[in-house]
Each structure stands twice: as structure tokens, then as C-alpha cells.
Structure 1
Amino acid sequence: MKSLLKNAREQKGLKTRELAQLSGIDQALISKFESGTRKPTKDQVTKLAQLLEIDYEILMVAWLKEKILYEIGDEEFALKALLLVEQEIQKNKKELNSELLSSYQIILDEIEILKTKIQSFNHFELRQISKTLELQFIFSSIHSNGNLLTQNEIKSVINDGLTISGKSMQNHLEAINFHEILVYIKDLIQKKTFLNEKDFLIIHNLMFRGIESENLGKYKSDSLILREMNLLFNWCELHKNNINPIILASEAYLKILEINPFENGNHQMANLLLNWILLQHNYVYATIEANQNSKEEYLSVLEKSQVKNDKSIFINYILKIEKENLNRAIQLITK
């Protein structure tokens, strides 16, 4: 770990004194970290990883390795103990995942029943559901960003190419762009293309086409963001077959907001990523209704989830929203 810290500091062109000022860590301590005579705390590792743009996972693994070596490296039965620790960690992780899944299981089962019912509808009925929910999703998505078009006006703009008097060109472009994004996502799903970084950036480009001229389809100029986004898509790929799609989508949403990769549109991109995953698995859009109460509930749930660092709060909220939208879809046909 000492070489990781020293090399990263030197590559950034920082002196230990300058790093001390930036990090709030005593200069003498930083020198000891780099010489290996002192070990940083976990909080200090996190801070140094961010400032020196070292991959957090790599630095944490190095920190844990040295911590373990310091504690038991010279013990006669260290290897046997480590094997037992590995088994115990894997067991605890499985139990934790099982416990979390069981807490969601009732509503997950209800959602699957509703989803199966929708899949039993004929082609015409499914098309009716798709068009209606898609329009509601576009309206909710752009309305939350201050767009003044009504749902019927959006329908006229998208389907008939009409210009709505008294509404700005940006309002029109936001509706058109969002519709084109959904067409693009549906085409990817048809081709069985799983979500990936290249198409994610294309979607960001589509969102602001004709509205902004800079930063379209580009992350902020920050190498840490590039690494974090790469890790996010690797994580999605790794877990796409072993985590329930709604849970996977909800966690991906939270990760996007945590990374905050774009200058503009982070909430909308998180929402599009979430619904991209849902649609890939034949769920319906998890649309949050475009009214003040629903918006306040969403913001409250998101804040509580972030402050408490408890993703289950947000996951349960998305499960509830998805169930509501599945019921709404069924009512379109059966009412």
C-alpha cells in the first residue's frame, strides 16, 4: 500500500505538505504511511483514494491485506484461520442476501403475478398498454424537470408533429428527445443488447440534442468518475443473472446518483437506466406520478435512503411503484 500512495502522489505532482493541506491529515503521518511505519485509518484511506485518484477497491484491499498480516502474519495457524474466516464471510454474505431477499419476497411475488397476467394479454392489448404507459413516463420524466407541456400536448408533439402555442422550443425538444430515447432503448431490447456504457452515453447525447451544445454524451472531466462508471457497468454485468432485475435496477439508480457523472441530467439518466433494466425483463415503466405529493414522497425516500446509507428503503419504494404501475396497466384493459 505504501508504494500505491507514494506513486499516486508523485504522479499528481504533489508534495507531502500539499497533500496534507488537501486531506487534513498531518504531513508527518502521510510520510509514515508512505514509508510503511504507520497504517492509515479506513477514513483516511477513503480520503486519500479520492484525492490521489486511486481505485478505492484496490487501495482498500491493500489496506486490509496489511492489517491482516500485521495481526496474524506470524502466527503458526494463520493460513488455517484465514480459510475459516473466508468460509464465515461467504456464509454471512449469503445469509444477509437471503435475509434481504426474503424481506422483499412478498411484494416480488405479487409483482410476478401481475406481470404474468399482463403477458397473457393479446398483441393489441399489449400495444395499448405500451403506448399509454410510455406517454405517462415521458410526461412524468420531463415534467419533473420543469417542462410545461401537458400529457395531451406531448402526445400531439410526438405523434402528429404539432407545435404547441405558448410553449418553448426547449419544451418541445425535451418531449421529442425523450421519445427517441425510448425508441432507442426498445430497439436495444429487441436486439437483446444488455445495458452498456456506450449506449448509456448515446442516450445522454439524445436527451440534450438541440438543447445543449456542450457535454452531450460525456462524463465530467474526472478520471475517478470514469473508473466508477466502468465499475458500475461491470457490476451490472456481473449480477444481471443473480439479482432480481428490480433490485438490480434500483441499486444501479442509487449508484448513478452517488457517482453524479454528468454536468446535467443525472436524475433523468438514473431513471432511464432503471427503466431500461425493467423493460429488458418485461416489466412496465416504474413511473412516479407527476404531482406534488408523489414528488415529495420520492425526494423524502431518496434522502432517507442516502442519509441512513440504507438502499433497502429506496428498493422497497421502487417495488411499490412498479406494483402500482403494473396494476395501472391491467386496469387499462380490464376496466
Structure 2
Amino acid sequence: MHNLDKVDLLKSDLNKLKPINFTYQKRIDEKFRLEFNYNSNHLEGNTLTYGETKLLLIFGDTQGSHQKREFDEMEAHDVAFNIVREWANDTERPLSENQIKELNEIILVKPFWKDAITNEGQQTRRQIKIGNYKEFPNSVILSNGEIFDYALPSETPRLMGELIDWYRHEEYVLNPVTLAAMLHYKFVRIHPFDDGNGRIARLLLNYVLLKFGFPPVVIKSSDKQNYLRALHIADLGDYTAFINYISEQLIWSLELSIKGARGESIEEQGDWEKQLEVLKKNYNYDKIKIRQRNSFAVFNEIYQRTIIPFVNLWQNKISKFDDLFEEKIVKIHIETDNGHITETGDNLLFFFDKVFQDSISKLGLIYEEIRFSVEFKNLKKSNISKNFSGGLIEFQFDEYSYEIDTLNTYSFIYGDYLSNEQIENIIDSFGKNLLKEINNQII
């Protein structure tokens, strides 16, 4: 049976069970609320566990070592989900660009600064403005290292207007599941905002489904690769794979809703694993606090398990560019509760090892930030006089966790580290961006 046919059959079965008992409906709504908020944010890097999400949204309490922004964005996403439900119930209100901008403003909470890369490949920081279309180009580095560019800022207002026109024309023409999937895809292909595009795409997807009487679709973060693969196939002009993918997720939602409407348990096989995840985190919490107090032990582990492997590989890879430039500059900056250390040199491994070892050996320091970068100056045999970025990496340390900012952001509790694969991917991206920057200058 075709996925869309199965969707229609299950929806018919669900309709026969309506009106659903109030208690059963409340249980179903809570399940979707938690699943959707947890997974949609987790897909974008939010580190709250399922249990912590439930504690926050249902009980208004917090737990675990996370940035305040992660809690704020989870709550804001929940507000956006409720608003989308209200819009879906108001069948007289047409979808508009202003509504989509409002969603962006809600989920991002407030303006913030984020690492970015210029068109020339330089590392920079930009303020993310909420509720406004992007002012700078955005792109994503694919798993094969290729750079996929979204719509240009100059094109975005026109394309968003055309998207809304398309939706209003097709709203009662296309099958609702096809309509929802295509709205999601077309929105993502434009990527109209500096941040929050994925979350808004999934909110819009569910706006359509809810409007036509379907339960929400939940894209599981554990299924991220299949989700992205279906989107990439759509980029080639074959939309069937993505529509089928959304249909498959909707079948899960319909089957869960039917079970719930019958008063059956809707706890899934994996729910106990989510609870175990929270138990483990709570079990280790005191150990984390004890290790955190011992500053030397904590930072020496990070140094040995992440920084040394990273710098070793970075030195080896980036040094391949040395003979193209007149000068290489290594900058290291360390912030502690007792001041800062800033040094500049030309040998990444030797120089960083010296500076960091001097710093880490000073017992009693509380480390707040470590930032190091590589820059090249002046291409040989050319008239080009400028700096070229060989990469920037920044460690931010909180009380019980730390964050690594580079081309992406990685969050860890103390005791967890970058994997070898993550290190290799970051440094490969440094090399590709530097090569692209050089080619842009010499062509």
C-alpha cells in the first residue's frame, strides 16, 4: 500500500474514534508536545534531554548543565508550537509572511551574536537579528565537504512572496501531506533567516497538517540522516522521496493517536531509554561537580583528550599551506578568573603547548575561555596583501559543562570530548575554506 493511501486509511480510522475522551486527548497532546519540542530543537543542537524537556515544559523546573539560552529556546519553541495550533484552528486566517517572521522572532527569543564565515572565507561574528530576513548569504557544508548555498539575501523577499502565493494557490488543490511537505522543502531551500530556519520549516509543516485535521509530524533527531537525505534528493528535483518520508512519520503519528484514542498506552519502546538517560545524568551529577572543583584535573583531561589531538592534526594539515605565504601567525588567548594570557607566535604545536602548559600548571585558576587561531599573511608571488584564516576555535567554560565554538558548536559535560571524527571534520573544513579563500583571490 502506498504511504499516502495508508495515511488516508489511518486518518479515517482516527476520525471514527472522535470525539476522543478528554483524558485520552490530553495524554496524546502532551506526548506530541514533548516529542515535537524535544526532537525539533535537538536536531539543531539543543542538548536538553527528553526528561529535562519534560521537566521544563510540564513542571516549569530546570535540571542539568546547559546554557540559559537552551532553556529559553525550548520554552519559546513550545510557545511557537501553541501559536501554530491556534493558527491552524482559525481556518479563515490565511498564512502570511508576517506570521512566518513572527515565528522566527518567537523561537530565537532575542538578538544574539554567532560565529560566521565571510564570502572570502574569513572567520567573523555577526549579530543574528530576529524576525527579519537575512542580510548576508547563508550556506551549509555537506558531509562530502561541498558547500550548498541557499537563496541570496537580495532574492529572499521576492522568493518568500512567491512562496506564500504558491501556498495560497495550492492550499486546497494538493493532497494536504504533499502540500505540507512541499511547503517545508520550499521554505528550507530559501533559508530566509540567519537562524531558526529548520525549526520554522517543521512548524510550518505541522501548521498545514493540523489545519487539515492530522496529528503533528515529529522528525526524530535519531533519524536526522534519513531526513537530510530525503531533502538532498529533493534538491535534485525528485520530491517523491521527501513526501514519502513525511508520510512515513505521519503514519507513526496517526498510529500513536489511534492507540491513545482507544485508551491504550502510548509509551514507546524507547521511552525507558530516555528515562535511563536522565537517570545516568543525575547519577553522575555529583561526580561532575567534584571533578569541576579540581581545576587542574579537569583542564588537563581536556588538554590531553581534545586539545593535543586537535592541535597535532591541525598543525599537520594546515602546514601544507605554509609555502604559499610569507608569514604564519598563531594567536592564543586564555581568560581566567585572575586575568588573561595572550601570546602570538608562528609554530602552532610548540607555541600552544608552551603557553597552555604554563597556564594549566597554575593551580587554583578558574578557566573561562581559551581561544586560538591560525592566520596566514601575504600570498607569495602576488600583489595580494591580506590575512587568510587557517581556522579559529574557542572553548567557553561553564560551571559543569563547556562549549567548543568553531564552524559548528559542540556542547559537553566535563568528562566528554570531541571524537576523532569530529576533529577531522573541523580541520578538513578549515582547509577547504582556506583553499576557497585563496582561489577567490587569485582567480
Q: Could you tell me the TM-score, scaled by structure 1's length?
A: 0.64
- CA drift of 1:104 comes to 5.9
Runs (4+) of structure 1 moved beyond 4 Å? 102-105
Measure the CA separation in 2 of the matches of 1:301 and 1:176: 29
Deviation string for 1:65-93 (max 9, x for gaps)?
xxxxxxxxxxxxxxxxxxxxxxxxxxxxx
Q: Is 1:220 equivalent to 2:134 in the alignment?
A: yes
Q: 1:171 aligns with which of 55, 58, 70?
A: 70
Q: Is 1:310 equivalent to 2:238 in the alignment?
A: yes
Q: Is 1:334 equivalent to 2:248 in the alignment?
A: no
- CA drift of 1:120 comes to 4.2
Residue of structure 2 in register with 1:199 after alignment: 99
Deviation string for 1:132-160 (max 9, x for gaps)?
11110000011111111112211221232
Residue of structure 2 in register with 1:298 after alignment: 227
Residue of structure 1 in register with 2:146 after alignment: none
Measure the CA separation in 2 of the matches of 1:123 and 1:244: 30
| SS at structure 1 position matched to 2:220 | coil
Residues 208 and 105 of structure 1: is their aligned pair in 2 closer, same or farther, counting only changes over 3 Å? closer
Confirm or deny: 8 A CA contact 2:52 2:64 kept in the other structure. no
Measure the CA separation in 1 of the matches of 2:98 and 2:13: 33
Confirm or deny: 8 A CA contact 1:204 1:217 kept in the other structure. yes
| SS at structure 2 position matched to 1:313 | helix
Residue of structure 2 in register with 1:92 after alignment: none
Residues 105 and 205 of structure 1: is their aligned pair in 2 closer, same or farther, counting only changes over 3 Å? closer
Deviation string for 1:256-288 (max 9, x for gaps)?
121121111222211111111111112111102
Confirm or deny: 8 A CA contact 1:252 1:273 kept in the other structure. yes
- CA drift of 1:321 comes to 0.8
Measure the CA separation in 2 of the matches of 1:204 and 1:118: 36
Deviation string for 1:40-59 (max 9, x for gaps)?
xxxxxxxxxxxxxxxxxxxx
Residue of structure 2 in register with 1:143 after alignment: 42
Q: Is 1:256 equivalent to 2:148 in the alignment?
A: no
Confirm or deny: 8 A CA contact 1:133 1:329 kept in the other structure. no
Deviation string for 1:169-217 (max 9, x for gaps)?
1210121011110121222233333322111110000010146363201
Residues 211 and 114 of structure 1: is their aligned pair in 2 closer, same or farther, counting only changes over 3 Å? farther
Q: Which amino acid aligns with 2:242?
A: F
| SS at structure 1 position matched to 2:56 | helix
- CA drift of 1:115 comes to 3.7
| SS at structure 2 position matched to 1:166 | coil
Q: Which amino acid aligns with 1:218?
A: N
Residues 118 and 129 of structure 1: is their aligned pair in 2 closer, same or farther, counting only changes over 3 Å? farther
Q: Which amino acid aligns with 1:310?
A: D
Residues 118 and 185 of structure 1: is their aligned pair in 2 closer, same or farther, counting only changes over 3 Å? farther
Deviation string for 1:92-120 (max 9, x for gaps)?
xxxxxxxxxx9665234324324424534
Measure the CA separation in 2 of the matches of 1:300 and 1:110: 27
Residue of structure 1 in register with 2:56 after alignment: 157
Measure the CA separation in 2 of the matches of 1:122 and 1:270: 31
Q: Which amino acid aligns with 1:314?
A: F
Measure the CA separation in 2 of the matches of 1:211 and 1:148: 20
Deviation string for 1:271-320 (max 9, x for gaps)?
111111111112111102232xx11211222222223x111111011111
Deviation string for 1:11-32 (max 9, x for gaps)?
xxxxxxxxxxxxxxxxxxxxxx
Confirm or deny: 8 A CA contact 1:195 1:277 kept in the other structure. no
Q: Which amino acid aligns with 2:243?
A: I
Q: Could you tell me the TM-score, scaled by structure 2's length?
A: 0.49
Measure the CA separation in 2 of the matches of 1:170 and 1:118: 41
Measure the CA separation in 1 of the matches of 2:164 and 2:7: 24
Residue of structure 2 in register with 1:44 after alignment: none
Q: 1:241 aligns with which of 167, 172, 196?
A: 172
Measure the CA separation in 1 of the matches of 2:4 and 2:67: 46
Q: Is 1:180 equivalent to 2:109 in the alignment?
A: no
Measure the CA separation in 2 of the matches of 1:331 and 1:108: 15
Residues 167 and 261 of structure 1: is their aligned pair in 2 closer, same or farther, counting only changes over 3 Å? same
Residues 173 and 114 of structure 1: is their aligned pair in 2 closer, same or farther, counting only changes over 3 Å? farther
Match runs of 1:51-90 below 5 Å: none
Measure the CA separation in 1 of the matches of 2:238 and 2:62: 45
Deviation string for 1:239-258 (max 9, x for gaps)?
11111211101011110121
Unaligned runs of 5+ in 2: 113-126, 136-152, 266-443
| SS at structure 1 position matched to 2:221 | coil
Q: Is 1:288 equivalent to 2:202 in the alignment?
A: no
Measure the CA separation in 2 of the matches of 1:150 and 1:295: 16
Confirm or deny: 8 A CA contact 1:111 1:326 kept in the other structure. yes
| SS at structure 2 position matched to 1:326 | helix
Confirm or deny: 8 A CA contact 2:111 2:130 kept in the other structure. no
Q: Which amino acid aligns with 1:142?
A: N
Measure the CA separation in 1 of the matches of 2:2 and 2:252: 19
Unaligned runs of 5+ in 1: 1-101
Residues 152 and 240 of structure 1: is their aligned pair in 2 closer, same or farther, counting only changes over 3 Å? same
Measure the CA separation in 1 of the matches of 2:160 and 2:201: 12
Q: Is 1:275 equivalent to 2:189 in the alignment?
A: no
Q: 1:131 aligns with which of 30, 51, 61?
A: 30
Q: Which has the higher strand share?
A: 2
